[in-house]
Amino acid sequence: MDLLYFSVSKGNIVSFMVYLAPVPTFYRIYKKKSTEGFQSIPYVVALLSAMLWIYYAMLKNEGAMLETINGIGCSIEAIYITIYLVYAPKEARVFTLKLLLLLNVGAYGLILLLTFLLTNGSRQVMVVGWICAGFSISVFASPLSIMRQVIRTKSVEFMPFLLSFFLTLCAVLWFCYGLLKNDLYIAIPNVLGFAFGITQMILYMVYKDTKKDFKCEVKLPQLNPNINSITTEELKAQPRGDQPQYNEANRQMGNAAPAEFNV
């Protein structure tokens, strides 16, 4: 019992820290007034997962801790999504709104309706439990697109280390809780959560010091090659008006375009 209490209490604390881990990201979005390369998918999916876990905890009648942390999670994720919608470009904003309507309104409402009408008792708990497990896996897998971006760009700019670290720690604690409670719906997703979290931290360590090299090439204006064949003494020996090559050099230098920098 002591170990069970330790797992759920520490799990809730770490889960709360996981929810707060993107705060620097959204502070950056607020300061720059732009979502840059960040995506809304992980936050929309996390909101849906928290909503489903609240439903599951209510059905079990013994999940007060689950209800509490996921209620807090819903509030925090809603704030993140609101900030994202304020500063996202039009295309990303429309996509996020469609995703919210599809998942958090449509899919969630359909799950509530079907499980209420077609199941009851322990069967209802089982069905909702597997649905929750599936969406928990989706939450852990949602950063896969960011991981692909990290590998492609060799930059960890859009994959915060704190989020990966706390997700991994959270997965360990909730796995222990599910194991002790004999609740496979909680334990199984967190095995994958641990694997994804470790993978993200490895990627971060590999690419955190990688910097893109930029080559700067300066192209100078090209002059008539014949100019180089005449010496200074020969130019001085000719009257000013009779120096066609000298005049040609001045003309080309005067009309030359500015140097071109290719970065």
pLDDT in tens, 40-88: 888 998 899 899 999 998 988 766 778 888 999 999 999 999 999 999 9
Residue 245, in any domain of the structure: no
CA distances from 19 to 25, 31, 70, 118, 160 (A): 12, 20, 10, 33, 13
Residue 154, in any domain of the structure: yes
Residue 201, in any domain of the structure: yes
Domain total for the chain? 1
Residue 167, in any domain of the structure: yes
Residue 77, in any domain of the structure: yes
CA 154 to chain centre: 14
pTM above 0.85?
Answer: no
Q: How far apart are CA 45 and CA 64, in angstroms?
A: 22
Task: State in Å, rounded, how far the first CA of the chain is from the last one.
Answer: 63
Residue 231, in any domain of the structure: no
Which structure tokens are listed for 244? Answer: 């066609």
The predicted-structure confidence for 85-112, as pLDDT tens digits, reads as follows: 999 999 999 999 999 999 999 999 999 9
Residue 89, in any domain of the structure: yes
**Is pLDDT larger for residue 216 or for residue 14?**
14
Residue 110, in any domain of the structure: yes
Q: How far apart are CA 78 and CA 224, in angstroms?
A: 67
Q: How far apart are CA 21 and CA 109, in angstroms?
A: 29
| Mean pLDDT across 158-187 | 82
Domain extent for 136: 1-208
